[in-house]
Structure 1
Amino acid sequence: MAEMEFGFLNSMQNWHEKLDDFAMWEGEVALALAADRHGFDSLWCVEHHFDAYGMCPDNIQYLSYLAPLTKTAKLVPGAVILPWHDPLRVAEKMAMLEYFAPGRTALGIGRGLARREYLGFRQDMNESRERYAEAARMVLDALDNGFIEGNGKFYKQPRVDIRPKPLRGYSDALYCVAMSEDSALAAAELGGRMMTFIQWPIERHVPMIESYRKAFAEFHPHLDVPEPVLTDVTVCHEDPEEAKRLAYEYLSKHYVSVVKHYEFAGDHFKDIKGYEGYQAAADLIKSAGMEESQKNYVEAQNWGTPAQIIEKYRERLDLIGPFFALVEFSYGGMPFEYAQNSLRLFAEKVIPEVRKMFSNTGKVTARPAALAEQG
């Protein structure tokens, strides 16, 4: 059985009071390089636009910069928001990234959630699901076959070669952002690994994980169901009280930025095709109130001393079986020295113990219980 995987996520936020964007960028790059040195399996970077919430408008370009500076970690755009891109350009840029880091690439894709970003790109959010599905198939086929073509509703693409030629396809290295059950089912249909951000106690994520597993097994009966990717905003500190202080200060600020960026205090999701499910989450936030919602969000993340974090991973393994742990250490204006300390301590104390624990679970596959009972 393979080891449990750990990834590091750059979110490229600048809520720092005294840092300009260049200094923030240097701090984020230093974190990524430290994650590679400390043995993280992969380096990820989000794509966002027009706001301090996330200042990496081209994560494939960013990973191309990291490629010669890193040694072992896989490089994963987490994720390319397909409706905002020409599929041809996505395929070309991924092919180039492979040449900078042969054997060290994977592909992450998503469809985006922020209305402000869709407006900036002059895109109709009502079209996002159809655009995503059409573009995803074109990009995956292009990287498999070495050429791209399309005659769909949105992309009329004459057949052209991808040069340099892709070194690999991504049927076994595809990650799909899934923050709703619809997106989880779309990930399963494409054959991608579901990547989600922890928002609630893990028990509330289980139904979507199980739906994904069941759908994946039905769409791809000849394949093992891949482990889901669970993303936490993390603080790791030797002192439990200091860990709690940092978590409640900076995770709370991060939560406020999430609600603001995605307009979770609004009612617009119910009127946008393909996003109706997000309105329920927005309504929960409004009904609970901001203070209570902040507290619930902070408590759902995996933070604390190394021992506390290990125990929370143990609880998750017991509940859902094997998963891929993706962690974010820099957010909410947290000073980079705190983020670096979290990363170092997590790598030294948490990763080895959780991998040991994972290897002793005896759970080789991630098939849902209902399917396992059916044989």
Structure 2
Amino acid sequence: MRVGLHLGYQNMHGDPDVQTFMQETNLAVEAEAMGFDYVGTVEHHFTDYAACPAPFEVLSYLAAKTNTIELMTAAVILPWNNPLRVVEQALQLDILSGGRLILGMGRGAARREFRSFGVELADSREMFDEAALIIMEGIETGIVEADTKWYQIPRTEVRPRPFKSFKDRTVMVSMSPSSVEVAANYGLKTLRFSQGDWRNAIPEINHYKETFQAVNGRPSPPFIISDFVLCFEDQERVSQYCDKYFSKMFATVANHYEFMSDHFKELPSYSTYAYMGEAAAAAGGPDKAYRDYISGNMIGTPEALVEHHRIRQEMVGDYEMLANFSWGGMPYEYVYEQMKLFADKVLPDLKG
């Protein structure tokens, strides 16, 4: 089992951005020493929820600071980026890192980010589907060419050229039935975020596996689960910090994506986000939605996390994990402490 570190770049500490940004980035250097397989950086803009507007630049910095850890865009949001530029940046970073790049792609879900880029959320499905194919072809061949509804690019040879294949190094964030379908048909590995009871996701996971096998003639690769992680030896500390920091993190997630808004109901390709809003409004209300969100993520002592993994693996099959330790304004000394404990006492069991 491969386990990575997810850098979320939340600034809920009240500290200057320069301080929190560098603290978050340098966690990846520690992750290599601790034995993590890869590091993934988000792309988000404009708010304290997450502020990492240029994941390729961050990963280029980390390529120079590390030697073996793989580097993943988790994810570059295609409707906000020209596919030709994505190809160029991906190939350049792959060369700088010695072939360590994993290209993760997503389509975004927050209206406030789309609005600032002048892109409509309702168009994201079509834009992603077109851009992903252009990019997948470009990173393999070094040639970018398109004449689609959303992209018109004359035949262009990219320099520097690719020097190794990206097969099995391309990932798609898949949080809806339509995204699962696209990922399987395109032969992409899929990334899912923990957002509640994993039993609800099993139909989509099984559909991905079956469709991938039928289309590509081989078993699907293990999908990636991105978890918020809280790991301390003392259950009392786990409970205390969960109540203090996870509640802040959940509130900023709900606010950023506007879970309680009705606009997702008009966008079938965002069904998971509509479900989150419905869950918060249903019996039990926001508190139940919050508790469900906690139960889906990795919150507990090292022993509890190992057991959580085993139960989840029995439900969903083999998977990889992308662990986010820094969220909700948790002080960085606590972030480092729990990350080190996880590496020492949970990581060997997962990787074993």
TM-score by length of 2: 0.97
Distance in 2 separating the partners of 1:124 and 1:103: 34
Correspondence for 2:11: 14
Map of 2:204 onto structure 1: 208
State the AA in 2 paired with 1:181.
P
Partner of 1:145: 141
* Runs of at least 5 residues in structure 1 that lack an aligned partner in the other structure: 357-375
Partners in 1 of 2:235 and 2:273 — Cα distance? 34
Q: 1:335 to 1:185 in 2, by over 3 A?
A: same
Q: Which has the higher strand share?
A: 2
Q: 2:311 aligns with which of 306, 310, 315?
A: 315
1:277 to partner: Cα distance = 5.3
**Residue 323 of structure 1: how far off its partner (Å):** 0.6
Once the two structures are TM-superposed, the CA of residue 276 in structure 1 deviates from its matched residue by 4.8
**The one of 174, 178, 187 aligned to 2:174:** 178
Identity of aligned residues (%): 36
8 Å CA contact 1:140, 1:169 repeated in 2: no
Q: Which residue of 2 aligns with 1:126?
A: 122
Shift of 1:321: 2.1
The answer to whether residue 273 in structure 2 is matched with residue 278 in structure 1 is yes
1:85-119 per-residue CA deviation (whole Å, 9 max, x = no partner) reads 10000000001101210121111001110011110
Q: Give 1:50 deviation, angstroms.
A: 1.2
1:225 aligns with 2:205: no
Give how far 1:170 is off.
2.1
Q: Is structure 2 residue 61 aligned with structure 1 residue 65? A: yes
Rounded to whole Å, the distance in 1 between the matches of 2:12 and 2:71 is 25
Report the counterpart of residue 331 of structure 1 in structure 2. 327
CA distance in 1, matches of 2:160, 2:88: 8
Aligned to 1:372: none
Partner of 1:342 in structure 2? Answer: 338
20, 24, 27: which is aligned to 1:24? 20
Q: Which amino acid aligns with 2:249?
A: H
One-letter amino acid matched to 1:62: V
Contact 1:140 1:171 (8 Å CA) reproduced: no
Please say if residues 279 and 286 of structure 2, whose CA atoms lie closer than 8 Å, have aligned partners that are also in contact.
no
- Of 235, 239, 243, which aligns to 1:240? 235
Per-residue CA deviations over 1:256-295 (Å, capped at 9, x if unaligned) read 1110000001101122463355323312222242222212
Contact 2:189 2:221 in 1 (8 A): yes
Q: CA deviation at 1:303?
A: 1.7
Stretches (4+) displaced over 6 A? none
1:207-255: CA deviations, max 9, x gaps?
221111111111111x221111111100111111111221222122111
One-letter code aligned to 1:306 = P
Please give the alpha-carbon distance, in whole angstroms, between the structure 2 residues aligned to 1:280 and 1:6: 28
State the secondary structure of the residue aligned to 1:102: coil
Asked if structure 2 preserves the Cα contact closer than 8 Å seen for 1:264 and 1:282, the reply is: yes
Indicate the SS of the match to 2:311.
Answer: helix
User: What letter matches 2:55 in structure 1?
Assistant: N
Q: Residues 342, 79 of structure 1: CA spacing in aligned structure 2 closer, same or farther, 3 A cutoff?
A: same
1:52 maps to 2:48 = yes
Aligned equivalents of 1:317 and 1:276: distance in 2?
24
Q: How does 1:30-109 map to 2 (within 5 A)?
A: 30-109=26-105
Instruction: Give the match's secondary structure for 2:50.
Output: coil
Deviations 1:288-333 (A, max 9, x none): 4222221221122112111111111111222222110111000110
Q: 2:183 aligns with which of 179, 184, 187?
A: 187
Other-structure match for 1:299? 295
Equivalent of 2:112 in 85, 109, 116: 116
- What amino acid sits opposite 2:136 in the alignment? L
Secondary structure in structure 2 of the residue aligned to 1:342: helix
In structure 2, distance between residues paired with 1:208 and 1:83: 24
Deviation digits for residues 141-186 of structure 1 (CA, Å, limit 9, x no counterpart) = 0111111000111111001111011223323111110111211111
Residue of structure 2 equivalent to 1:289: 285
2:257 is equivalent to residue 262 of structure 1:
yes
Paired AA for residue 89 in structure 1: R
Indicate the SS of the match to 1:303.
Answer: strand
Q: Distance in 1 between matches of 2:152 and 2:256?
A: 32
- SS of the residue corresponding to residue 300 of structure 2 reads coil
SS where residue 49 of structure 1 aligns?
strand
Check whether the contact 2:196–2:294 (CA below 8 A) recurs between aligned residues. Answer: no
Q: Is the 8 A contact 1:252 1:295 kept in 2?
A: no
User: Which residues of structure 2 form unaligned runs of 5+?
Assistant: none
CA distance in 2, matches of 1:211, 1:326: 22
Q: What does the per-residue CA deviation read over 1:27-73, in whole Å, with 9 as the maximum and x for residues that have no partner?
A: 10221111111110000000001111111011011101110101211
The answer to whether the Cα contact below 8 Å between 2:25 and 2:58 also exists between their aligned partners in 1 is: no
State the alpha-carbon separation in 2 of the partners of residues 355 and 65 from structure 1: 27
Cα offset, 1:194, TM superposition: 1.2
